[in-house]
Chain A
Amino acid sequence: MSKSLRLGVASAVGEIAGVASKALGRGRGESIRGQALLAIDPQAIKKLASGRDIVLVSGTNGKTTTTANLARVLADGTDEDVSTSVYGANMRSGIAAALAAKPRNRYVVLEVDELYLPQMYDLMQPKVIVLLNLSRDQLHRTGEVRKVAQLWHDHFTRDDVTLVIDRDDPFLEYAVANAGHVLRVTFGGRRHPDAATCPNCSELLDWTAGDYQCSCGLGSKLATVRGERSLSGPARNAVLVIEAARLMGAVVPVETAAKLTANPPDRVADNIVAGRLVHTRLAKNPESWRTSLAQVSAPNVILAVNARGIDGKDTSWLWDVDYRCLQGKQVICVSERRRDVAYRISVQGIVPQVVSSFEQAVALFDDQPIDAVASYTAFQDLAAQQMGLNVRTGGRT
């Protein structure tokens, strides 16, 4: 079979598998579609990426939203169709499926898992890589935050790509220290909760001026773009989106940033549980829990935590989050690790109820509004349930 014919067959088989998977209620089909494609042609990613203008987006928090925003801005600013990732499918199979979906599109914007980024960089030769942030997440898989920074640092040594980074994150500054082309954006500095020491030399970072300094010189390179210090995480990412789109040749009007910071539908959902509206936010690590808790406004609150693979199997991080903003609210803990959450918040003076499901929780509340904060698979399980599916997402506990 010729190379191009094999890829064509692979794409067709992948498409059939994806449609079949979706019809059977097993997610949105991208993963199985990509798996089938790669099984038939292991070189599919490289071939499908060849000759296209590609941007990769990676980091701990905000990848999915940033990828969607960048694809939209790039499409608007170039008047061309843009291929992009679907629903956070950011490993090999999801990336293969996204590339295969519309292979004639010149522009491609892909979300990439942090550990897969070096491999995808080599395979796809992107023009731009956007690095958002690095903080603690799924430590059972990544081991340590700085291991990811080290992996990137060792890999980004060429000058065939432009890396767009938030240089206020010392891990990112270290990750690109050997790279040829870097566009640094600063927001005036902010204390990073996981970076007490320098990722380069392990000495204590000096944070006294609200920004980091190190005697080894990390952080001394000047940023070329400056955003406001007061911007939220999503608003900071929107600035990176605009810079990346411009590097790709898009024309981006100045008012674009403000339009990009609305709640993304795949991270916030209004679910109907037993006839009640449950405004649910996905939060998957200490940083995103802090952000989500700050946005809880209802007097009734459900906290839902699992510890399946994608959630992070170690729940110790629950103790790194301050829950005192929930004092005075009625709080109910659900899902598989409800007892971990219940004990942690009880030590902060919040006395929760503990039940096994969202339905049971809802039945215990008065008729005032209900907010929920859910870990990755708890959020997805609830979303699946809303679609009438009875699935368990995200691997084993």
Chain B
Amino acid sequence: MTISIVRLYHDLMGTYGDQGNAEVLIHRAKARGLDCELVEVTPHMPVPTSGDIYLIGGGEDGPQTASLRMLQKDGGLSVAIDRGASLFAVCAGFQIIGRQLPNPDGGMIEGLGLLDAITIVDESPRSVGELVIEPSQPELPVFTGFENHQGLTELGPEVRPLGKVSSGIGNGFDGLEGAWQGNIIATYMHGPALARNPELADVVLKGVVGELTPYDDDFANELARERRATLATK
């Protein structure tokens, strides 16, 4: 099988380096002998419905709204998720897949509704800095990333978080970070998140191929270990 990885609008939603998540997934899949193809979706291109993993990153307010409008009009991402494809969404990408989010011009706008979550903006200062979380799944290690966002995201009752915040802000509600609903994982962690947390990259790959053969990438492991150790001492 060839894993089809669909990177959505990275010109618009790549302000914080999240396009690296695609490179990490491909690198880790190929190391296991799995074939991958990267499908770049640029503005006004139809979103393919046959992809296995969809990636959307963080972006600024204007590009975020433009991406949301295009995804709503296209409808392909929703079709893909309905048929069981995986989605990994970061920051502004996390916000637009929820039910509602702030309109940069005031008020609220409808999101894609793929995730039961609502993002609001209050008077809090922008959440900027290193983020450390304890994952909800006990078999996973501590995750680290760098957050840089204005909105605060409240999860609906059916959605579990990606983890609990041990340092940083995360979603800004109940000390939680990110979201995990079926094949959708969302987070405020940049880094990119899958580069700094190879175990999370494998969670995303397992969602498509099932069990993975072990793979020790010294460069990835050393980075993850160094970040976890450095941030644990702060």
Contact = CB atoms under 8 A, between A and B. Distances in A.
A199 B62 CA distance: 7
Specify which of B12, B62, B191, B217 lies most central, judged by the most chain A CB atoms within 10 Å of its CB: B62
Given A140-B148, A314-B148, A339 B62 contact: no
4 closest cross-chain pairs (CB), A and B: A316-B17, A319-B20, A202-B62, A196-B11
Interface string B173-207: 00000000000000000111001000000000000
A343 B220 CA distance: 6
Given A316-B17, A316-B192, A342 B60 contact: no
A202 B220 CA distance: 37
B133 interface: no
Contact of B15 (A139, A339, A348): A139
A144 B146 contact: no
A313 interface: yes
Interface of A: 136, 139-140, 143-147, 194, 196-199, 202-204, 313-320, 339-340, 342-344, 346-348, 354
A202 B109 CA distance: 15
Nearest to B62: A202
Interface residues of B, number: 40
Interface in B60-90: 60-63, 65-66
A202 B146 contact: no
Contacts of A147: 60
Nearest to B218: A346
A343 B18 contact: no
Interface of B: 9, 11-12, 14-20, 23-24, 27, 43-44, 60-63, 65-66, 104, 126, 128-130, 146, 148, 150, 190-192, 195, 217, 219-220, 222-223, 226-227
A347 B104 CA distance: 36
Given A204-B43, A314-B146, A344-B195, A140 B129 contact: yes
B66 A144 contact: no
Contact of B126 (A143, A313, A314, A340): A143
